[in-house]
Amino acid sequence: MKLELGYIQMKDIQFSKECKVENGTLYVNPDQVIDFLYQDDDVKDWVKSFTLDIARPGESVRITPVKDVIEPRVKVEGPGGMFPGVIAKVDTVGSGKTHVLRGMAIVTAGKIVGFQEGIIDMTGPGADYTPFSKLLNLVVVAEPKDGYQDHKHEYEHAVRIAGLRAASFIGELGRNLTPDDTQSFETYGVKEGIEKLPNLPRVAYVHMLQSQGLLHDTYVYGVDAKRTLTTILNPTETMDGAILSGNCVSACDKNTTYHHQNNPVVAELFAAHGKTLNYVCNIITNENVYLADKQRSSDWTAKLCRLLDLDGAIVSQEGFGNPDTDLIMNTKKIEQQGVKTTIITDEYAGQDGKSQSLADAVVTGGNANQVIILPKLDKIIGMLDYVDVIAGGHAGSLREDGSIEAELQVITGATNEMGFNTLSAR
């Protein structure tokens, strides 16, 4: 498969009477976007109203509670469309041409139904820990209809769909533009790869997907990952919207849809492909709750690594606690097949950093228990009602002066286990 991504660099977002992209500026008519969101029946059933707002890098703005972050894109050539199986039809993506509105994102926010949502600060110490403080963010804030507490899954699903619809609406504005930069990505079939790159080590990316249920969901071509068996994806499928976030794990190591679209492990492996290694494929595997499911998935992961005659594998986790078992089972079984393995995870080492680490010889995204003070900012997009109860917060996290004392867990993407962050440890 060969995928060409055309990057259109965004410089600003402004509200306007019409929706268009011109000279690097996104002009948005909020009413037109909201009308498009309400064309979906689920959104119409469970969301009472939407508010759109803009957050730019360096502004004194706090967005909370954050549900998802999505990069606007549009398929301009080749099979499939954006977010197949959810927004577009279930066609295989990962080839042809896709235009990307780079430097911006759609951020969804709204009342939470659990406790594991997050914060994006656009300035101050919190901004240093999230990649999304560097983006131009069009924020979609959802207000649920009365009685949503008895229909939490339906409301949460509606907000996720609204975010994807907003991203597809905005992405469509880039269809007929000329990209500022274009990059191509291509991998080979098994036989072709061996013939073309006979002397390079064969490496795959074992991509663990959060699928514990209870709003801990990831979708592959519209199918909840807990309902799937370990399987193979072409890396370009991941880059082209085949995997979507639907989970509410701790904000610090949640893989948002933006993370999947811009997975840095995939990017690094492509950068080395044909030079120092042969990037064979992605192996996606779930993180289910029960031991039998974990055994089945990890067995299949190891089996595929052996069938593909891999020399090495990079394994990334999502979440912590229960998924730690999946991570170690996958890694141990892969190595028993003679495949060298590297883990990417993060640490929950206590606020003093002295608790025992998960394993040795790993790449870590940092300690999620590290305490941070977030100063009061001038503007809140969303609401502060939940700061004391989101994962990483505590009773009294929201101080009387408007500042927040909490663990890094509350910051969206702070210890991301794809390595999409600024933290690590020795």
Give the DSSP letter string of 85-130.
TTTB-S---SSEEEEEEETEEEEEEE--SSS--EEEESSSGGGGG-
Residue 422 lies in a domain: no
Per-residue pLDDT band at 351 (split at 50, 70, 90): confident
CB atoms within 10 A of CB 61: 23
pLDDT number for residue 425: 58
Computed over every residue of the chain, the mean pLDDT equals 93
pLDDT number for residue 361: 64
Q: Which pLDDT tens digit goes with each residue over 29-86?
A: 999 999 999 999 999 999 999 999 999 999 999 999 999 999 999 999 999 999 999 9
- 70 within 8 A of 167, measured Cβ to Cβ: yes
Contacts 24+ apart (CB under 8 A), 188-193: 188/278, 190/280, 190/308, 193/278, 193/280
pLDDT number for residue 143: 94
Structural domain including 222 reads: 2-410
Closest CA to 112 of 251, 9, 14, 18: 251
Using the predicted structure, report yes or no on whether residue 426 has a pLDDT greater than 70. no
More confident residue, 355 or 272: 272
More confident residue, 390 or 166: 166
Q: Which amino acid is at 340?
A: K
Beta strand ranges found along 297-415 (DSSP E): 312-316, 340-347, 362-367, 371-374, 379-382, 404-407
Per-residue pLDDT band at 356 (split at 50, 70, 90): low
pLDDT number for residue 130: 96
Residue 270 lies in a domain: yes
The dihedral through the CA atoms of 141, 146, 150, 154 has a sign that is negative
Rounded CA separation 174/287 (Å)? 36
Closest CA to 9 of 24, 20, 21: 24
Model pTM score: 0.95
The dihedral through the CA atoms of 241, 419, 322, 234 has a sign that is positive
- 145 within 8 A of 46, measured Cβ to Cβ: yes
Q: Which pLDDT tens digit goes with each residue over 360-385?
A: 668 888 888 899 999 999 999 999 98
Q: Which pLDDT tens digit goes with each residue over 75-126?
A: 999 999 999 999 999 999 999 999 999 999 999 999 887 767 899 999 999 9
Closest CA to 161 of 15, 36, 27, 18: 36
Query: Which residues are known to be catalytic?
Result: 248
pLDDT number for residue 69: 97
Query: For residue 416, which phi and psi values (nearest 5 degrees)?
Result: -55, 135
Annotate 204-273 with DSSP letters as a single string: EEEEEEE--SSS--EEETTEEGGGS--EEE-HHHHHTT-EEE---S-GGG---HHHHHT-HHHHHHHHHB
Residues 149-163: what's their mean pLDDT? 90
More confident residue, 423 or 166: 166
Number of domains in the chain: 1
More confident residue, 363 or 316: 316
Using the predicted structure, report yes or no on whether residue 358 has a pLDDT greater than 70. no
Residue 95 lies in a domain: yes
Per-residue pLDDT band at 424 (split at 50, 70, 90): low
Residues above pLDDT 90, as percent of the chain: 82
Q: Which pLDDT tens digit goes with each residue over 283-304?
A: 999 999 999 999 999 999 999 9
Residues 322-333: what's their mean pLDDT? 93
Per-residue pLDDT band at 423 (split at 50, 70, 90): confident
pLDDT number for residue 68: 95
Q: What is the DSSP letter of 179?
A: P
Residue 290 lies in a domain: yes
Torsion of CA 173, 175, 178, 184, to 10 degrees: 130
Using the predicted structure, report yes or no on whether residue 322 has a pLDDT greater than 90. no
**CA 390 remoteness from chain centre:** 19
- 30 within 8 A of 123, measured Cβ to Cβ: no
- Scan for tokens 């965004």, then name that residue: 10
Closest CA to 283 of 193, 202, 203, 206: 206
Residue 415 lies in a domain: no
Q: Which pLDDT tens digit goes with each residue over 238-297?
A: 999 999 998 878 899 999 999 999 999 999 999 999 999 999 999 999 999 999 999 999
pLDDT number for residue 150: 85
- Scan for tokens 């975010």, then name that residue: 163
Residue 125 lies in a domain: yes
Residue 420 lies in a domain: no
pLDDT number for residue 343: 93
Q: How far apart are the first and last CA of the chain?
A: 38
pLDDT number for residue 114: 72
More confident residue, 15 or 358: 15
